[in-house]
Amino acid sequence: MVTMIYPDVRPDITPDLVRHLVSTQFPHWAGLPVRPVAVDGWDNRTYHLGDRMTVRLPSGPWYARQVAKEQEWLPKLAASVPLPIPVPLGHGRPDEAYPFPWSIYGWIDGDLARPDRVRDLTEFAVDVAEFLVALAKADTTGAPGPGEHNFFRGGPLTTYHDETVEAIAKLGDAVPGDFCRRIWQEGLDATWDGRPVWFHGDISPNNLLVRDGRLAAVIDFGTSGVGDPACDLAIAWGMFTGSSRAAYREALGVDDGTWARGRGWALWKALIVYADSRGTGSPREDESHHALTELLTE
């Protein structure tokens, strides 16, 4: 895969911009209404295009690297997994109004996963694990390894060592520093030498869709790739607790080393988000604090 160099900008993404891009590059869809999705992301901006499609535009150059990967690999991965994943319907190109490639996908019905929308959290944890087990069996020939396109998911935890140490120092007495450092070191020590497999890279409630209380689809493969799948364990502390966490681990069939690395990934993410959002009263603060609590009391 060729690495593209994109301008270091964060464009203003508006419905008018989306209409412009669609009308100039996909004129057969130009008459369809454009409206924001109910819950949007930070990495990408997403808009409904009519009733059955979405337009997804990277918010910066860091995420633009993911477009070509998703366009190429999502259709191939769809045959290997037991649930719907996004289907690319159009590959947009940069123009004078917007500097990055972008995508049109088919719309997938469902609500973002929340505990109150899930009928049984243990059942849900097993469903997520079974999806990941199937994904890990997909053909990896020519697939992308860890790199800038996915912020080095699937690679070693050492990539984020300095960030983790800095976050612990920044949080000070807000977290038990020695305990955090011990968990982190256990993850670093559990080095991985297995066969590279496909992973999602950001298995979180915002990327899991629910219908009728069950897992219905998995979305946003921007951080996917092949390598160490331990990064997909972070949800074990971000959403699952007690029996659901145990069921998740059992269904994945991971060894102690992979679990330790997964705990390291979860700790890194929770620490940097909490250090950045502490005192804001935001959902990010609540979610990261919850994950830290689960990690530090397990």
pLDDT in tens, 12-36: 899 999 999 999 999 999 999 999 9
Residue 83: pLDDT over 60: yes
40 has pLDDT over 80: no
CA distance 21 to 16: 9
Spell out the SS3 assignment of 117-184. Answer: HCCCHHHHHHHHHHHHHHHHCCCCCCCCCCCHHHCCCCCCHHHHHHHHHHHHHHHHHHCCHHHHHHHH
What would the CATH number be for the domain defined by 15-106?
3.30.200.20
Distance CA(232)–CA(195), nearest Å, equals: 16
Q: What are the phi and psi torsion angles at 218 (to 5°)?
A: -125, 130
Q: What single letter denotes the amino acid at residue 101?
A: P
Q: What is the mean pLDDT of residues 26-54?
A: 93
- In the chain, helix, strand, coil percent, each to 5? 50, 15, 35
Predicted confidence band of residue 7 (pLDDT cuts 50, 70, 90): low
What is the structure's pLDDT at 6?
Answer: 58
What per-residue confidence (pLDDT) applies to 8? 62
| pLDDT at residue 46 tops 50 | yes
Distance separating alpha carbons of residues 10 and 8, to the nearest angstrom: 7
pLDDT at 260 over 90: yes
Does position 103 have pLDDT exceeding 80, yes or no? yes
- Burial grade of 19 (CB within 10 A; 0-12, 13-18, 19 or more): middle
- CATH of 111-297, picked from 3.90.1200.10, 3.90.45.10, 3.40.50.2000, 3.40.50.300, is 3.90.1200.10
Q: Where are the domains of the chain?
A: 15-106, 111-297
pLDDT tens for 140-157 read: 999 999 999 999 999 999
Q: Which strand (E) or helix (H) includes residue 193?
A: none
Name the percent of the chain lying above pLDDT 70. Answer: 97
Q: List, edge to edge, every strand of the sheet that includes 214-218.
A: 111-112, 208-211, 214-218
Domains 15-106 and 111-297 share a fold: no
**Region 79-94: what's the mean pLDDT?**
97
Contact 220, 208 (CB under 8 A): no
pTM over 0.85: yes
C-alpha 147/C-alpha 174 separation (Å) is 32
Tell me the torsion sign for CA atoms 275, 277, 280, 283: negative
Residue of higher predicted confidence among 5 and 66? 66
94-118 mean pLDDT = 96
For range 279-286, the mean pLDDT: 95
